[in-house]
Amino acid sequence: MSDPNKAAIRAEKEALNLKLPPIVRPPEDIGVDTPAQSKLLNYRRSKEQQKTINQLVVDGAKRSLDRTLDKRTPPIPEPDYPPTMTSEIKKKGFNYIYMKQCVESSPIVPIQQEWLDHMLMLIPESLKEGKEREELMKSLKNEVSSDFEKSMKRYLVRSVLVKPPVKWLEDEGGPLPTSPEGLDYSNPWHSSYVQTRNQISANLHIVHPTMKILLDLGYTTFSNSVLLDLTGIRAKGPIDCESLKNDLSIQAKKAEEKIMNTWYPKVINLFTKKETLEAIKPEKLDAFYNCVSTLMSNQLKDFLKRTVEGFVKLFDQEDQRGLPIFKMELTFDDDKMEFYPTFQDLEDVVLGLVERITEALQNVQTVPSWLSGTSPTVNLDTQLPEHVLQWALTTLKLAVHHNLEGARKHYETYVEKYNWLLDGTADEMIETFQAEDHTFDEYTEYLQRI
């Protein structure tokens, strides 16, 4: 009994003394990127697809280039002349012809369709109708495209090759275009550039910083304003032409005074500063002030020109939203029927307003005249050009005649129907009829006929 028990006890002890397997530690290089791991982590499908697309594009371009090269005219082999028959001049000529043919055989970009469309837009529509015209237009497009291709080839030859001094080459395809004449940069140019720049700075006074200030000052003052505010004339309703003339004259006078009290003092103040004329040499002072006067004159002329254009636009026949409504009366005085004011008076008032606009800002002194205070004073040239005045007067005259056409027809209707009652014709007819012997029925019929 003892032996089995001892064996069992020994077995239990061995079971209790069982050991766990040893712990296996991870390798030391587990956190280091191996080449295989880096390739896997850096792999991007989009990049691979882009490479494939780029390769397809390159392959397609190569195939297109091969097809283009196949279509080229095969090069003409240079003739093998004996040395005794070929001079140096002839060799240069034949070599130029050969190189010219090679250059002309290169592909040329055709004319853009947009350019052809713009050319065809210049042709009236009436000349494009019909089947024959369509064929003619197609032929015209082909001719233009062919001329464009020839011109590009000739320009390419001129740009790439230098024609040797061989006289008989001039007959090859007609006379060659003359080479453009440009600047010669074969010699140092910096000193001449500096000299020219200094001359420009000394003589071209418009680039002076003061001119920019003067230009900005004029732009701020005149760009968004005109001499007369014409926006509310139609809203006033019927108005006497003389009242309109007086209102606009007063408005023009106030606007002129405002300009002379705001813009002009700022201009004078600009040239009273010492630093303005520091860089100007005494012998260049007159030219500098002439430039100032020209700039001021152009600003004022543009200001008056825009005012005249705005006044003319009031009488635009296609846009009558701003057309003034003039009050006119049909009067009868001294046995005469007429409109007051007359058509001529109304036309004179309208044209006179243009002259009133042109009379504004005509007494603006030049800067040197104001600074020196000499007498007599010298004024800026602010008179509008003659062609602007003629355009305004002609346009307004036609507009006035057009807008008074209805009133003129109304007047003629009155004169035609009732003037015989006023000039004594009716009295003579009645007296003549009364002097005759008529029955009652004849009197009634006569009165009804009248």
Domain residue ranges in the chain: 88-160, 203-395
Least confident of 15-19, 92-96, 263-267: 15-19
pLDDT in tens, 321-359: 878 887 777 777 666 677 777 778 888 888 888 888 888
Per-residue pLDDT at 293 exceeds 60: yes
- Could you tell me the pLDDT band of residue 390, with boundaries at 50, 70 and 90? very high
Query: Which two structure tokens, joined as six digits, stand for 108?
Result: 């040329």
pTM over 0.85: no
Alpha-carbon dihedral angle through residues 133, 134, 140, 142, given to the nearest 10 degrees: -160
- What backbone torsions phi and psi does residue 67 show, to the nearest 5 degrees? -65, -40
Q: What is the spatial distance between Cα 160 and Cα 171, in angstroms, rounded to a whole number?
A: 19
3-state SS track over 369-383: HHHHCCCCCCECCCC
Task: Using alpha carbons, list the distances in angstroms from residue 115 to 153, 170, 413.
Answer: 19, 32, 58
CB of 326 within 8 A of CB of 238?
Answer: yes
Q: Any idea which of 138-142, 254-258, 441-445 has the lowest mean pLDDT?
A: 441-445
Residue among 119, 177, 117 nearest 150 (CA)? 177
Looking at residue 258, its amino acid is K
Distance of alpha carbon 241 from alpha carbon 243, whole angstroms = 5
Q: Which DSSP string corresponds to 199-218?
A: HHHHH-GGGSHHHHHHHHHH
Q: Which residues pair with 330 in a beta bridge?
A: 339
Q: Mean pLDDT of all residues in the chain?
A: 78
Ramachandran bin of 174, using left for φ above 0, alpha for ψ from -120 to 50, beta for the remaining angles: left
Which is nearest to 297 in space by CA: 267, 326, 320?
Answer: 267
Give the integer Cα–Cα distance in Å for 214 and 267.
7
Q: What is the pLDDT of residues 43-95, one digit of tens each?
A: 788 888 888 998 998 888 888 888 877 766 666 666 665 555 557 777 777 88
